Amino acid sequence: MQRALPAVSGSVFVLTDEILQMGFAAAAASPRKRIILPVHRSDESVVQRMLNFMQPGTYIQPHRHPQQHAIETIQVLRGAMDFLVFSPDGDVIQRHRLQSDSLGLIDIEPGVWHGMVVLEPNTVILEIKRGPYDANADKFFAPWAPPEGRPEAEAYLTQLTSV
> pLDDT tens digit string along 58-98?
999 999 999 888 899 999 999 999 999 999 999 999 999 99
Identify any residues that bridge with 50 across adjacent strands, giving them in sequence order.
38, 127
Overall average pLDDT of the 13-18 stretch: 96
The predicted model scores a pTM of 0.94
Q: What are phi and psi of 155, to 5 degrees?
A: -65, -40
125: burial class by Cβ within 10 Å (0-12, 13-18, 19+)? buried
Q: How confident is the model at residue 42 (pLDDT cuts 50, 70, 90)?
A: confident
> pLDDT tens digit string along 92-138?
999 999 999 888 899 999 999 999 999 999 999 999 998 888 888 88
Domain parsing of the chain, residue ranges = 17-162
Instruction: Specify the 3-state DSSP secondary structure of 108.
Output: strand
The Cα 117–Cα 81 span in angstroms is: 5
Architecture of the 17-162 domain = Sandwich (2.60)
The Cα 81–Cα 99 span in angstroms is: 6
The Cα 125–Cα 127 span in angstroms is: 6
Q: Is pLDDT above 90 for 3? A: no
